[in-house]
Amino acid sequence: MTDEALIAAAQVSKAWPFEEARKLLKRYPNGKPDAPVLFETGYGPSGLPHIGTFQEVLRTTLVRRAYETLTGGAPTRLVAFSDDMDGLRKVPDNVPNADMLREHLGKPLSRIPDPFGKFESFAAHNNAMLRQFLDRFGFEYEFVSSSDRYNSGAFDAALANVLRHYDAIQGVMLPTLRAERAATYSSVLPVSPTTGAVLQVPVTVIDAEAGLIRFDDGCQTVEQSIFGGRAKLQWKVDWAMRWVDLGVDYEMYGKDLTDSGVQSGKIARILGGQKPEGLIYELFLDENGEKISKSKGNGLTIEQWLDYGSNDSLGFYIYREPKSAKSLHPGVIPRAVDEYWQFREKIPAQPVEQQLGNPVWHLLRTNGYQGGAGDTLPVTYGLLLNLVGVLGAGATREQVWSYLGNYVTDADPAAHPQIDTLVDKAIAYNRDFVAPTLVRRKPEPNEARALAALDAALATLGEGASAEDIQTLVYEIGKDETFEFSGLRDWFKALYETLLGSSQGPRMGSFIALYGVANTRELIAEALVPA
């Protein structure tokens, strides 16, 4: 594939990263004239990072790579920005030492001790967790701390600019607030010199160039500079200030921030800049349909997904349909793993136009991968889960690999590291989610007759029969009107529920070839034992 062919296909691709990148292409057809195009993601470290945080970095990276493709390699940067100057408003539900944290409510997150006792602050702990995963996935990014920018004075010039336009900014924000909130609202939040808390109090601008403001701190009136970390901005104002000061060109955010994005865009123009391009994405929901929250700790954490699924599967699930809400719970992981590999296998045979619509093509390029994929997974994750489910909660890696020898050429962990990784994850998934609720129901009379027929047919095949031959045999029994199935769907459902203890399952030919004919006949015999 030539660069010219790739760019031509990217210019018309309907894949959402290219649609987003073309917004930037209108601003900068050949890149920024004086600096790299800047992509930003924001993160509030008030709770432990979750997949909702990670997805923003991944999706932004996908757009970044798409823009680089469209421009033939225009320089870009990605900044992961932590709002760790924010005051802690409430204690998260999923962290230790809650009483200690309550003593520091209102203080900047970077000035509160780490409840885990590992880092210099609560923010530093949560920032480290985020960076650890981003580094593990191989993202190219620059981490920027809000506290570092405020404390070092790097934001001082931008803060003076806010004070110069203070009345105009208030004019944007006040009409959006209830009367009670508007009465005390200030775009600038001073840090109390006595308590260290971020104060929500009205301020009077004394000298914009010197950063000097006046405000009431308890029983005393204080005049104080806002420079050098002695104040921060309300977050919508802070967001706009950052866009302008850093020169942000692209930032996406969730639909819950739609109105905030409008207001911050107006403030950015007041400050002499412009709102970045960006995608408004739908939110992840937990299995009860509720928004995932860092403070509640509902949904899945990054670590939990990786206990049961691969990095690649996480990226694949996040890629799909960013403008549609998606449930995020353990039940979605197995399908995401298998679908990732289905798409990965297709890439070499696809023309360039189809490659650009393949999610895996985009995921591979997040780390600069330029070639085709073409790898295959000899056994699906779903099939591994069914095997482990039959082996039971005490299944071991050695047991699983002994069965894989029936199905996979050169069945050795060293020869198949991708499968070996999934073996461990399948054992963990079965232990935590399948085994505790596994129930194999007894077959109905017609199902029992069909199972007996399957057992007899398998006896004629013996070990070593191919998955296709076994599948054909299974089909023939399901189609036999003697067994009174209304369709093959009912027959397969019966097999899954009576032999595997699941309402869904694999191609039975593949499962039997993997598990072994004799072992499958033992499963059938157990199912046919009278209740």
Same domain, yes or no: 344 and 446: no
Angle ∠(212,217,223) on CA atoms, nearest 5: 20
**The pLDDT of residue 385 is above 60:** yes
| Domain end position, chosen among 362, 390, 423 | 362
What CA–CA distance (Å, rounded) separates 520 from 511? 9
SS3 for 135-199 is HHHCCCCEEEEHHHHHHHCCCHHHHHHHHHCHHHHHHHHHHHCCHHHHCCCCCEEEECCCCCCEC
Q: Which two tokens stand for residue 383?
A: 């099939």
Same domain, yes or no: 357 and 443: no
pLDDT, one tens digit per residue, over 234-253 is: 999 999 999 999 999 999 99
Same domain, yes or no: 337 and 447: no
pLDDT of residue 289: 76
Of how many residues is the chain composed? 531
Same domain, yes or no: 31 and 133: yes
Residue 191 vs residue 289, higher pLDDT: 191
Helix (H) or strand (E) holding 145: strand 142-145
Residue 33 in 3-state DSSP? coil
Same domain, yes or no: 355 and 443: no
CATH number assigned to the domain comprising residue 494: 1.10.10
Same domain, yes or no: 25 and 148: yes
pLDDT of residue 137: 82
**The pLDDT of residue 48 is above 70:** no
Same domain, yes or no: 357 and 462: no
What CA–CA distance (Å, rounded) separates 154 from 53? 25
Beta strands in 350-467 (DSSP E): none
| DSSP character at residue 208 | T
Same domain, yes or no: 443 and 340: no
Q: Which two tokens stand for residue 379?
A: 């056994």
pLDDT of residue 503: 85
SS3 for 246-273 is HCCCECCEEHHHHHHHHHHHHHHHHCCC
pLDDT of residue 440: 94
**248 within domain boundaries:** no
**34 within domain boundaries:** yes
Dihedral angle, C-alpha 329, 331, 332, 337, nearest 10 °? 120
| Domain end position, chosen among 362, 385, 419 | 362
**28 within domain boundaries:** yes
pLDDT of residue 5: 92
pLDDT, one tens digit per residue, over 174-190 is: 999 999 999 999 999 99
Same domain, yes or no: 457 and 324: no
**The pLDDT of residue 102 is above 60:** yes
pLDDT of residue 358: 96
Residue 85 vs residue 130, higher pLDDT: 85
Task: Report, as an integer, the average pLDDT of 138-160.
Answer: 96
Q: Domain residues for 468?
A: 439-531
Q: Which two tokens stand for residue 336?
A: 């995401």
CATH number assigned to the domain comprising residue 36: 3.40.50
pLDDT, one tens digit per residue, over 312-327 is: 999 999 999 999 988 8
pLDDT of residue 281: 95
| Domain end position, chosen among 314, 335, 362 | 362
pLDDT of residue 294: 54
**414 within domain boundaries:** no
Same domain, yes or no: 13 and 124: yes
Confidence category of residue 463, pLDDT binned at 50, 70, 90? confident
Of 358, 326, 325, nearest to 344 by C-alpha is 358
Q: How far apart, in Å, do the first and last CA atoms of the chain sit?
A: 63
Average pLDDT, the chain: 93
Same domain, yes or no: 4 and 99: yes
**262 within domain boundaries:** no
**The pLDDT of residue 454 is above 70:** yes
**The pLDDT of residue 192 is above 90:** yes
Is residue 159 within 8 A of residue 224, CB to CB? The reply is: no
**196 within domain boundaries:** no
Q: Which two tokens stand for residue 332?
A: 């979605």
The count of structural domains within the chain is 2
**228 within domain boundaries:** no
pLDDT of residue 284: 84
**181 within domain boundaries:** no
Same domain, yes or no: 17 and 150: yes
